[in-house]
A and B are shown apart, each in its own frame.
Chain A
Amino acid sequence: MIAFAIKRFVQALGVMLVVALISFMMFRFVGDPVNQLVGVDTPPAERAALREALGLNDPVMLQFGRFVVKAAQFDFGISYQFKQPVASLIASRLPATLELSFVSALFALAVGVPMGVYTGLYRNTLLARGFLAVSLIGVSLPTFLIGILLIFAVSVNLGWLPSFGRGETVNLGGVWNTGLLTKSGLQSLILPSITLGLFQMTLIMRLVRGEMLEVLRTDYIKFARARGLSRRAINFGHALKNTLVPVITITGLQLGSIIAFAIITETVFQWPGMGLLFLQAVQNVDIPIMAAYLLLIAFLFVTINFIVDLLYVAVDPRIRIGGRTAG
């Protein structure tokens, strides 16, 4: 088990190094960094001094090494547009995005799994067909359209929920601004999380449904029925647990994409998160922010995958390494 974890950890490190290389190269491909930093009328001597000070004359490998070491210490340099350390810019935006993403994922799971189980068990009922039809809308409508429709219906016409922003936030320990503790913060969270989580919810629902249909046909479910177990024990004990491995995989991967693609939802709802920061960075060719964002998202993906791998082992004994073998 520990050997397995270490192996996965080393693999994760490898992935991070490759991503670091890509984001390092971004500085080169998008033009001379010095040009981004100084004005048009800066004399060549000053430019040369800056180039030397930034270490741009060193061998590429050395520069890359320096980039990696700094990145590992959360030092991503200074933003071109804000003239502030990138790390603190991201740290101030990160809580908003993470809260939005986790609430969306929670919404997708809490609604998607029961709906999937229901449509799998009672696939011919009217309600199940209704769920499936609605899920088609969730899969096919683009996120921004869902967001705008929700704003139009719930905020503009009904006036129930705020249409933009994060509401009031409470500062926790000086590092984390949370909107989860105030009424306006929670209210502001509802529409963006539904918008962001709807696609994942329908995906999870369809996945759980498919897996349930598959599992309910297996011999061990037939045998469980032949043993006279109760419907509850069969459906939720024996069947649902067997659908969990693919569901965990997809949820894990989707959590990564929820965070990465919160950009659109954040734009629609003017949510002060990383996505909005990233869009501004793209418009202003603010390479340090883009590079840091890329690294951060890769880090989140890798971490989530690592946790997912460990979760498999917890759910499915057959994946356990070094278990006792058949006798």
Chain B
Amino acid sequence: MTPALSVRNLRIEIPTRRGVLTAIDDLSFDIAPGEVLGMVGESGAGKSITGSAVIGLLEPPGRVAGGEIHLAGERIDHLPPERMRHIRGKRIGMIFQDPLTSLNPLYRIGDQLVETIMTHQRMTTAEARDKAQRLLEEVGIPAAKTRLSSYPHQFSGGMRQRVVIALALAADPELVIADEPTTALDVSVQAQIIALLKRLCAERGAAVMLITHDMGVIAETADRVCVLYAGRLAELGPVRDVVKHPQHPYTIGLMSAIPSLTGDPDEALAQIPGSMPRLGAIPAGCAFNPRCGYRFDPCTVERPPPYDAGAGEAACFLHAPAFARQAPAETLRQADAAGIQLSIPNGEAAR
């Protein structure tokens, strides 16, 4: 089946006064129709910028410097602005982080919905208003008919995010990019909004690119996860496998850093030493190598491409048979203990 979204070798550059920064380097992933792909990573790892690139709204001077983006088999990264505009909102919907600022404060909710609907579909104003009301009902806003003539400031944060979802889904897009849709919301509302988003997209068969740094949200919602580090793919795989049996040292560090309810409260939380490099100072070889406990010779020289690892793929030389043989026995033993499924035969690993 043709994927709803296919990103191939994407490279995003940001020219600055002190040289060109590479925000995304050689990133490839697919999202099947109806699938939810979670994008996780630290701040600055390139999650949001990937979403912006897909919908064609990179902030200048950022630009797509290489690779291709295909929407349902059709290449969209090089379309002229006016054609791309017709895809935005109609075929790709986007939800932003802060519902308090996503809606224009000076226009009634109904007018913003009608405006969006009529931009993409041939309808009379009355039909568009009917549709707007149905959308509001679908996202669970009570008394939808009267709420159409309310202003954004008359809604609470959670209600506003429901309106934002209604706006993003107004033209039944085949792909929805949700950029941290719950980060700005009250914890008690987050679960409702995520469930709502997931249900509405499933009903419509829309693929979802869910950008977040909340592993809990990912674990509950996503079908597959894409872990980014310093603008590069670290690990990509089915959500259960990535959460339970992470294969990339960075993902292992991330998962062990999640606080647990059953853990010893006096014990310090696990953390990955150091911090993610700035875009201008990404080390040679694997971007994660200075912080990695399993580092060996090729890691500081050559950049690892994604290798098959467990049920998914991981960009780590431990998964490359040719390189893993060079690793010291101690490193291999530790990796095996950490649950990394080494690609070399058992006998050799236990060497």
Contacts and interface: CB of A to CB of B under 8 A. Distances in A.
Interface of A: 218-220, 222-231, 233, 237-238, 241-242, 315-318, 323-327
Contact of B85 (A230, A238, A324, A327): A230
Given A324-B150, A325-B154, A327-B156, A317 B89 contact: no
**Which 9 A-B residue pairs are closest in the complex by CB-CB distance?**
A228-B89, A228-B88, A226-B94, A219-B101, A227-B89, A220-B104, A317-B151, A223-B102, A227-B116
Contacts of B94: 223, 226-227
A318 B153 CA distance: 7
Contacts of A228: 85-90, 116, 119-120, 171
A228 to B, nearest CB: 3
B104 A224 contact: yes
A324 B86 contact: no
16 contacts: A220-B104, A223-B102, A223-B103, A225-B88, A227-B88, A227-B170, A228-B86, A228-B119, A230-B85, A238-B107, A316-B105, A317-B151, A318-B153, A326-B155, A326-B159, A327-B142
Contacts of B164: 223
Contacts of A226: 55, 57, 88-89, 93-94, 96, 168
B106 interface: yes
Nearest to A226: B94
Contacts of A225: 57, 88
B102 A220 contact: yes
B241 interface: no
Contacts of B119: 227-230, 233
Interface in B71-105: 85-90, 93-94, 96, 98, 101-105
B68 interface: no
B89 to A, nearest CB: 3
A18 B200 CA distance: 63
Interface in B102-144: 102-107, 115-116, 119-120, 142
Contacts of B106: 241-242, 315-317
A317 B103 contact: no
Interface string B285-327: 0000000000000000000000000000000000000000000
Contacts of B24: none
B104 A238 contact: yes
Given A219-B96, A227-B116, A318-B105, 8 more contacts: A219-B102, A225-B88, A228-B89, A229-B89, A242-B106, A323-B154, A326-B154, A327-B159
Contacts, number: 89
Given A225-B88, A226-B57, A233-B119, A324 B154 contact: yes
B84 to A, nearest CB: 9
A257 to B, nearest CB: 28
Nearest to A323: B154
Given A219-B96, A220-B103, A317-B106, A229 B115 contact: yes
B154 A327 contact: yes
Contacts of B89: 226-229
Nearest to A124: B60
Given A228-B85, A316-B105, A223 B96 contact: yes
B129 to A, nearest CB: 17
A238 B57 CA distance: 17
A225 B105 CA distance: 16
B154 A220 contact: no
B167 interface: yes
Nearest to B57: A225
A125 B142 CA distance: 48
A233 B105 contact: no
B88 A327 contact: no
Nearest to B147: A327
Contacts of B90: 228
Nearest to B113: A227
B178 to A, nearest CB: 11
B211 to A, nearest CB: 13
A115 to B, nearest CB: 23
A97 to B, nearest CB: 35
B156 A326 contact: yes
Nearest to B84: A228
Nearest to A317: B151
Given A223-B96, A223-B164, A230-B119, A317 B105 contact: yes
Contacts of B153: 317-318, 326
Given A227-B170, A228-B87, A218 B101 contact: yes
Contact of B104 (A231, A242, A325): A242
A219 B85 CA distance: 17
Nearest to B160: A326
Interface in B155-177: 155-156, 159, 164, 167-168, 170-171
A322 B36 CA distance: 43
Most buried by A among B55, B96, B104, B167: B104
A228 B116 CA distance: 8
Most buried by B among A218, A233, A317: A317
B136 to A, nearest CB: 13
B92 to A, nearest CB: 8
B157 to A, nearest CB: 9
Contacts of A230: 85, 119
Contact of A222 (B57, B86, B168): B57
Contacts of B102: 219-220, 223
Contacts of A325: 154
